């Protein structure tokens, strides 16, 4: 049996994890919460080496290799986390999540291979199957979302011909092999390890098939869902190993992650089932709008400066394009200039501005934009009607009225910022290319809309100097 | 430990997990997801346990791979979350907000 002090230390770590999640729920305590979680994880890792001879069947084996592997993984994780740009953070989280899911699947596989199967109960077998299946789906699914967000592949839904049938078939085979693995024992009472590897392979493919058809704005929801999956998979691996700490930690993440996923889906006005299965039924044709050569009104930086400087109320709608252009500081400069002229300026933050809920808040906070100026969608939407200029910087989908009006649009039902109600709308855009979700935006062709083309940072810099020269 | 005790822990953990995040503001969705992501990196413990009693080369190889992956998840997860939350700390700025 594991020494008592080790189990007590693991109890401590479990409590720290709960406090971590609790802390992370409130801006004041969030950072401390994260550190508590890190402390819990460190304690848990250290005491893992002291499970004792009964557990390890002698002194712990391969100790130097284990320490080296831990060090390698830690260094890779550390460097990756330190180097990543804040704009690329969502895909980093996806990647970290994926490797965690993969690790859980491998852990259960090893335990299965080594346990001398007759010792395993049906319940343990079922937990093994669950870990391998869900962990593998999370692994390949997360890597695919990483590739989509990193733009290593298209971010549009990928609809393979007969995709629904292929997915259903692979799904059935996966479930079938899972059932066989749990129920069918050979004459010696062993479950078949070759079927386990078949299940592993099928689950890996399943992860790809599930995520391929997910596109655009739904990707963050999928990251969150896969995060919850990995949590549950870790919990199941805890059951396989009879380890309480893994059960608690994994379940906490699984449960809170599921709730979080639902909250995100609600913020985007999409039932979760739509996110996952919508693309199987939706046609990819809505992407190309009818409006290729329609006229738009373009404006010079000076025009924009005049519009802004003579407004009474301005609302800024920052989007991912702002972040990509690293224009957070320039926009803050512009806002401060306008405020010095006595103009009321607010930022309207859509719940999924950027690439993930809260992403834009992080990016603007990085640029020292005061917290109070960031207004959430529900708070700011009624104000657009009395706004002189809505300045949309590098955002598109979150202001696209197609979400309100066009039931065939992939984003239909998502709550949007009502910039079309403002007196004038100015878009800073790189090109006429549609947004992440790939849909044409009618507001662009509105006569009250002006477009200033170019890199968001360059455009803003020009606008700032034009405002100064007025 | 017997199966029912483990099941009890599992079910109670579900309720705790839901309860602790039920009041999170939308601003913190991303950091919270990222922090939760780091916490499941604790599967590193499981990876160390199975590797420490690995008897075959296959088990050892897989185990070491799992350790590397889990450590990336855990360390990277906490570090990236901390970087996000660094931005949220109140800054000594003379606020002339409104």
A106 vs chain B: nearest CA distance in angstroms?
6
Does the beta-carbon distance from A66 to B48 stay under 8 Å?
yes
Where residue A177 falls among pLDDT bands split at 50, 70, 90?
Answer: very high
Q: Which of A66-70, A193-197, A252-256 has the lowest mean pLDDT?
A: A193-197
Nearest to A256 by CA among A12, A468, A33: A33
Does the beta-carbon distance from B30 to A61 stay under 8 Å?
no
Task: Flag whether A345 is in a domain.
Answer: yes
A446 vs chain B: nearest CA distance in angstroms?
31
pLDDT value of position A70 = 96
> Does residue A288 have a pLDDT over 60?
no
pLDDT value of position B2 = 79
Task: Flag whether A290 is in a domain.
Answer: no
Q: How far apart are CA A57 and CA A116, in angstroms?
A: 14
Pick from B26, B27, B49: which is nearest to A48 by CB? B49
Residues A375/A349, Cβ–Cβ less than 8 Å: yes
Task: Flag whether A32 is in a domain.
Answer: no
Number of folded domains that form chain A: 2
B70 vs chain A: nearest CA distance in angstroms?
5
* Contact residues, chain B, for A25 at CB < 8 Å: 20-21, 23-25, 28, 32
Does the beta-carbon distance from A45 to B74 stay under 8 Å?
yes
**Final residue of a domain: which of A253, A282, A311?**
A282
Task: Flag whether A4 is in a domain.
Answer: no
* Contact residues, chain B, for A4 at CB < 8 Å: none
* Contact residues, chain B, for A361 at CB < 8 Å: 27
Backbone angles phi, psi at A111, to 5 degrees: -60, -40
Q: Is A121 exposed, middle or buried (0-12, 13-18, 19+ CB in 10 A)?
A: exposed
> Does residue A280 have a pLDDT over 60?
no
A325 shares its domain with A443: yes
pLDDT value of position A55 = 79
Q: Is A175 exposed, middle or buried (0-12, 13-18, 19+ CB in 10 A)?
A: middle
Q: How far apart are CA A390 and CA A409, in angstroms?
A: 24
CA A49 to chain centre: 33
Task: Flag whether A54 is in a domain.
Answer: no
Task: Flag whether A28 is in a domain.
Answer: no
Nearest to A357 by CA among A257, A264, A278: A264
Mean pLDDT of A154-182: 86
pLDDT value of position A117 = 52
> Does residue A290 have a pLDDT over 60?
no
A327 shares its domain with A277: no
Residue from A14, A48, A100, A108 to probe the interface with B (highest B Cβ count within 10 Å): A100
B4 and chain A in contact, CB less than 8 A: no
Q: How far apart are CA A109 and CA A469, in angstroms?
A: 68
B94 and chain A in contact, CB less than 8 A: no
B6 and chain A in contact, CB less than 8 A: yes
Does the beta-carbon distance from A81 to B76 stay under 8 Å?
yes
Does the beta-carbon distance from A264 to B29 stay under 8 Å?
yes
A275 shares its domain with A335: no
A323 shares its domain with A266: no
Residues A238/A244, Cβ–Cβ less than 8 Å: yes
Mean pLDDT of A284-305: 68
Residue from A24, A43, A224 to probe the interface with B (highest B Cβ count within 10 Å): A24
Average pLDDT, chain A: 86
A357 shares its domain with A255: no
What DSSP designation does A413 have?
A: T
Where residue A1 falls among pLDDT bands split at 50, 70, 90?
Answer: low
Instruction: Label residue A186 left, alpha or beta by phi (over 0 means left) and psi (-120 to 50 means alpha).
Output: beta
Taking CA–CA distances from A24, the nearest residue in chain B reads: B32
Mean pLDDT of A401-430: 84
Percent residues over pLDDT 90 in chain A: 48
Taking CA–CA distances from A343, the nearest residue in chain B reads: B98
- Chain B segment 25-84 residues within 8 A of A by beta carbon are 25-56, 58-60, 62-84
* Higher per-residue confidence, A121 vs A241: A241
> Which of A179-183, A315-319, B53-57, B72-76 ranks highest by mean pLDDT?
B72-76
What DSSP designation does A1 have?
A: -
A357 shares its domain with A457: yes
pLDDT value of position A130 = 95
> Does residue A286 have a pLDDT over 50?
no
> Does residue A281 have a pLDDT over 50?
no
A146 shares its domain with A256: yes
Where residue A87 falls among pLDDT bands split at 50, 70, 90?
Answer: confident
Where residue A88 falls among pLDDT bands split at 50, 70, 90?
Answer: confident
B92 and chain A in contact, CB less than 8 A: no
Q: How far apart are CA A180 and CA A159, in angstroms?
A: 31
> Does residue A275 have a pLDDT over 80?
no
Token look-up 């979760």 returns: A272
Does the beta-carbon distance from A106 to B71 stay under 8 Å?
no
A243 shares its domain with A378: no
What radius of gyration, in Å, describes the C-alpha atoms of chain A?
A: 26
Where residue A219 falls among pLDDT bands split at 50, 70, 90?
Answer: confident
pLDDT value of position A140 = 96
Spatial strand order of the sheet with A313-318 comes to A374-376, A344-349, A313-318, A389-393, A424-429, A449-453
* Higher per-residue confidence, B87 vs A64: A64
Exposed e or buried b per residue across A356-389, where buried means at least 16 C-beta atoms within 10 angstroms of its C-beta? bbbbbbbbbbbbebbeebbebbeebbebbeebbb
A345: CB partners within 8 A, 6+ apart: A313, A314, A315, A316, A335, A338, A339, A373
Token look-up 């996966």 returns: A174
Does the beta-carbon distance from A362 to B65 stay under 8 Å?
no
> Does residue B98 have a pLDDT over 60?
no
Token look-up 């996923």 returns: A261
Q: Which two tokens stand for residue A130?
A: 């669950």
pLDDT value of position A365 = 81
Exposed e or buried b per residue across A289-328, where buried means at least 16 C-beta atoms within 10 angstroms of its C-beta? beeeeeebeebebebbbebbbebebbbbbbbbbbbbbbbb
Task: Flag whether A39 is in a domain.
Answer: no
pLDDT value of position B89 = 61
Q: Which of A65-69, A322-326, B91-95 has the lowest mean pLDDT?
A: B91-95
Pick from A34, A102, A358: which is nearest to B35 by CB? A34
Q: How far apart are CA A306 and CA A93, in angstroms?
A: 42
Residue pLDDT, tens place only, A246-261: 999 999 999 999 999 9
A355 shares its domain with A418: yes
* Higher per-residue confidence, B90 vs A226: A226
> Does residue A137 have a pLDDT over 50?
yes
pLDDT value of position B92 = 46
A260 shares its domain with A368: no
Domain that holds residue A412: 301-469
Task: Flag whether A355 is in a domain.
Answer: yes
What residues of A are labeled active site? 397
Mean pLDDT of A152-172: 83
Pick from A21, A35, A63: which is nearest to B36 by CB? A21
CATH code of the domain covering residue A456: 3.40.50.1220
pLDDT value of position A106 = 96
Residue from B69, B95, B97 to probe the interface with A (highest A Cβ count within 10 Å): B69
HSE-CB for A92 with a 13 A CA cutoff: 31
Residue pLDDT, tens place only, A364-392: 887 888 878 888 888 899 999 999 999 99
Mean pLDDT of B20-41: 88
């Amino acid at each position: 049996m594991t020494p008592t002090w080790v189990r007590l230390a693991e109890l401590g770590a479990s409590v720290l994890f709960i406090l971590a999640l609790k802390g992370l729920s409130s801006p004041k305590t969030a950072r401390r919460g994260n550190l508590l979680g890190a402390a819990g994880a460190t304690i848990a890792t250290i005491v893992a080496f002291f499970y004792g001879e009964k557990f390890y069947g002698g002194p712990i084996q391969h100790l130097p290799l284990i320490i080296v592997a831990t060090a390698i993984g830690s260094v890779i994780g550390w460097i990756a986390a330190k180097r990543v740009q804040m704009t690329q953070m969502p895909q980093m989280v996806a990647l970290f999540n994926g490797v965690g899911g993969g690790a859980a699947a491998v852990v259960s596989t090893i335990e299965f291979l080594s346990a001398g199967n007759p010792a395993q109960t049906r319940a343990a077998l079922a937990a093994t199957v669950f870990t391998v299946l869900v962990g593998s789906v999370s692994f390949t699914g997360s890597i695919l979302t990483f590739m989509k967000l990193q733009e290593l592949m298209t971010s549009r839904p990928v609809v393979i011909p007969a995709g629904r049938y292929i997915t259903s078939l692979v799904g059935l085979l996966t479930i079938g092999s899972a059932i066989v693995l749990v129920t069918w024992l050979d004459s010696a009472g062993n479950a078949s390890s070759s079927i386990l590897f078949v299940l592993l392979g099928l689950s890996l493919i399943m992860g790809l098939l599930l995520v391929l058809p997910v596109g655009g704005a739904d990707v963050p929801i999928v990251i969150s869902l896969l995060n919850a999956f990995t949590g549950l998979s870790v919990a199941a691996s805890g059951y396989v190993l009879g380890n309480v700490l893994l059960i608690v930690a994994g379940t906490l993440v699984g449960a809170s992650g599921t709730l979080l996923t639902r909250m995100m889906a609600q913020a985007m006005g999409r039932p979760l089932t739509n996110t996952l299965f919508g693309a199987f039924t939706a046609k990819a044709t809505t992407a190309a709008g009818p409006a290729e050569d329609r006229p738009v009104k373009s404006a010079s930086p000076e025009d924009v400066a005049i519009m802004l400087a003579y407004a009474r109320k301005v609302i800024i709608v920052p989007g991912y394009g702002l972040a990509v252009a690293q224009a957070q500081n320039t926009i803050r400069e512009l806002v401060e200039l306008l405020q010095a002229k006595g103009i009321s300026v607010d930022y309207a933050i859509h719940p999924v501005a950027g690439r993930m809920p809260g992403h834009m808040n992080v990016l603007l906070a990085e640029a020292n934009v005061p917290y109070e100026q960031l207004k959430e969608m529900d708070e700011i939407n009624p104000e657009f009607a009395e706004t002189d200029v809505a300045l949309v910087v590098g955002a598109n989908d979150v202001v696209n009225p197609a979400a309100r009006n066009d039931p065939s649009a992939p984003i239909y039902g998502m709550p949007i910022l009502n910039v079309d109600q403002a007196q004038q709308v100015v878009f800073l855009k790189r090109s006429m290319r549609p947004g992440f979700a790939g849909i044409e935006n009618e507001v662009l062709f509105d006569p009250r809309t002006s477009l200033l083309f170019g890199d968001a940072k360059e455009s803003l810099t020009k606008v700032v100097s034009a405002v100064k020269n007025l | 430990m017997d199966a029912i005790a483990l099941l009890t822990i599992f079910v109670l953990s579900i309720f705790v997990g839901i309860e602790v995040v039920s009041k999170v503001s939308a601003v913190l969705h991303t950091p919270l997801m990222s922090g939760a992501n780091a916490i499941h990196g604790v599967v590193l413990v499981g990876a160390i346990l199975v590797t420490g009693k690995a008897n075959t080369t296959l088990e050892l190889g897989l185990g070491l791979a799992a350790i590397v992956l889990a450590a990336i998840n855990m360390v990277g997860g906490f570090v990236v979350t901390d970087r996000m939350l660094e931005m949220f700390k109140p800054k000594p700025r003379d606020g002339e907000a409104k």
